[in-house]
Amino acid sequence: MIELTDVSYSYGGGELLSGISMALQPGSFHFLTGPSGAGKTTFLKLCYADLHATAGRISLFGEDVRGMDRDAIARLRRRVGVVHQDCKFLDHLSVAENVALPLTVAGRDVHAYADNLMDLLTWVGMTEQVESLPPQLSGGERQRAALARAVIMDPEIIIADEPTGNVDWEMSLRLLSLLVELNKMGKTVVIATHDLNLIRAAKAQVAARVLRISNRQIQLAGADL
Amino acid sequence: MSISARLMAILRGDTEADRAVPPTGFTAQLTLFSAGAMGFLAVFALALSLATGRLAERWSSELARSATVRISAPAGQAEAQVLAAVRVLETTPGVASVRVLDVDEQLALLTPWFGPDLPLEALPIPQMIDVVEDSSGYDAEGLRLRLQAEAPGAVLDDHTRWRKPLVRAAGRLRGLGWVAIVLIAATTGAMITLAANAALAANAQVIRVLRLVGARDVYIARAFVRRFTMRAFSGAAVGCVLAMLAIAILPRASEAGGFLTGLGFQGLHWLWPLCIPPLAGFVAFWATRTAALRSLRELM
């Protein structure tokens, strides 16, 4: 599904990731952990082609992203749902419009998906905030709305970058349960976090693999987690 | 998709897509105003071009077939020379008609300069003979030589001397009118490009989010293209209507009015300004699309 072969990424003369080779299998659940600045976000961006590797090969759904033009990358991103740490909403649109944005940009008739949209907002517990604007939401509400937007296109992969970074523990567990539920529906889930308690809580619910980034390399973390 | 299909898609619009990019009030108002001003100026340039075109045509056709013979001779010889000149003219191949202007006609010609009470009979005014050539034309040089021999005081003026520069000047003025329209279109394009670039820069974060959720460049560009196309079209339409009203209430053309009162549209020429709003829309469409796609490539 996502395959990296000897991938390196450099920026500003320094190498952030070096010679990484790994594969994320369909239906798997991965945590990506490591200290701040280790390259977790960079790794995730490479996975959804927001950044391009300076060396090596990244394959998404069997296709090498290096040879893709921008249109192909846009189509590819519709198959990958991303929850950003800062959510990246359009502040002038309502929650419902933001959640439906991937449908809109894909040229789908949003009205035909009204029921799906409401089901999704119910699933993340956001039916009360449908008409709210993003700046009116709390941290947890923003993350849940971002998760709803990430899954509206029924993607095969869900990537979440520090989804619990700005929420309390109770909300973290709620978001985790939603992501676990998605994984049980067959979605591949990759979560970047430095919250070890969250990883422990997840391991009690799902067979999660933990990858640790350090010294520009990614390694499978041991059982100490 | 063809250009016309694209334009139709733009005019139909996509409400959902349009909402993805936030409205930019001040830029929108400036674009509308600039397009309106350009539309207004374009109508006047068009009016100038068409009016000078008509003028050049009229001068050419009215003067091309007429000439004047002026006879200046001492009082005792004037009548004989006029008769001789008329005889020469009537026997010249290519001359369709010859007419000696009477006193009233000569007086009418001089009245604008000297007033109505001119004692014409007391002044040494040359006698004028109006000559109209036929379609085959006459040999002007040959006629001059024959007139010189038969009526030494006769001077043939076929108007070429002053007609050609006038027609040439009118033609150039018409050309300048079209150049002005092209410059107005180019300036509109440049102005729209600057405004589109400013709007794209102001919405860099929105563009980033749209890309992250899978928007193609064409989709993002379309949101900007439609806005600027519609603004340029509607602004130019308002400018055109105002300019057409201003031209419609200009004083009517008259004998004494000359060129200035003839500035305007006649008959079907009133339809020409209707081309300006679509032209402004097309220029805006092309300028915004080019600017947007280039900016989006650079934002990669």
> For residue range A18-70, what is the model confidence (pLDDT) as tens digits?
999 999 999 999 999 998 888 999 999 999 999 999 999 999 998 899 888 88
Residue with tokens 């560009």: B221
- Residue in A92, A104, A149 nearest the CB of B16: A104
Q: φ and ψ at B98, to 5 degrees?
A: -135, 135
Q: Are residues B278 and B193 in the same domain?
A: yes
Q: Do A97 and B214 touch (CB under 8 A)?
A: no
- Residues B26, B104 within the same domain: no
Tell whether B34 and B179 lie within a shared domain.
Answer: yes
Does the beta-carbon distance from B20 to A74 stay under 8 Å? Answer: no
Closest B-chain CA to A109:
B16
Q: Do A77 and B17 touch (CB under 8 A)?
A: no
Give per-residue pLDDT as tens, A153-198: 999 999 999 998 878 898 889 899 999 999 999 999 999 998 889 9
Lowest mean pLDDT among B132-136, B140-144, B235-239: B132-136
Task: Based on the fold, state whether residues B46 and B180 are members of the same structural domain.
Answer: yes
Please answer yes or no on whether A90 and B22 come within 8 Å at the CB atom: yes
Q: Which of A99, A101, A82 is nearest to A43 (CA)?
A: A82
Tell whether B29 is covered by a domain: yes
Closest Cα in chain A, distance from residue B212 (Å): 7
If pLDDT is split at 50, 70 and 90, which confidence band does B113 have? confident
Query: Of the candidates A71, A75, A97, which has its C-beta nearest B19's C-beta?
Result: A97
The reply to whether B36 falls in a domain is: yes
Spatial contact of B130 and B99, defined as CB atoms under 8 Å apart:
yes
Residues B183 and B291 in one domain: yes
B157 within a domain of the structure (yes/no): no
Give the domain-ending residue among B129, B152, B175: B152
- Does the structure show a pLDDT above 60 at B141? yes
Pair (B136, B171) in one structural domain:
no
Q: Are residues B228 and B176 in the same domain?
A: yes
In a domain, residue B66? The reply is: no
B contacts of A105 (beta carbons < 8 Å): 17, 20, 210, 213-216, 219
- Please report, for residues B86, B162, B191, B200, B238, the alpha-carbon distance to residue B31 in angstroms, rounded to integers and kept in the order given: 67, 46, 8, 14, 13
- Lowest mean pLDDT of A7-11, A18-22, B74-78, B265-269, name the range: B74-78
Is residue B19 in a domain? yes
Within a domain: residue B159?
Answer: no
In chain B, the number of structural domains is: 2
> Is B85 part of a structural domain of the chain?
yes
Domain end residue (candidates: B94, B126, B152):
B152
Per the structure, the complete domain to which residue B110 belongs is given by 73-152
Instruction: Please indicate, yes or no, whether residues B53 and B190 belong to a single structural domain of this protein.
Output: yes
Q: Do B213 and A92 touch (CB under 8 A)?
A: no
Residues B236 and B168 in one domain: yes
Is B205 in the same domain as B254? Answer: yes
A101 contacts on B by Cβ (under 8 Å)? 20, 209-210, 213
> ipTM, 2 decimals?
0.88
B222 and B195, same domain (yes or no):
yes
Backbone angles phi, psi at A35, to 5 degrees: -65, 160
Please check whether residues B32 and B133 belong to one and the same domain. Answer: no
Domain boundary among B107, B123, B152: B152
For A34, half-sphere exposure in the C-beta direction (CA atoms, 13 angstrom radius) is: 24
Tokens of A126: 């956001």
A106 vs B19, B22, B214: nearest CB: B214
pTM of the complete model: 0.74
Decide if pLDDT at B8 tops 70. no
- Is residue B67 situated within a structural domain? no
d(CA A145, CA A171) in angstroms, rounded, equals: 13
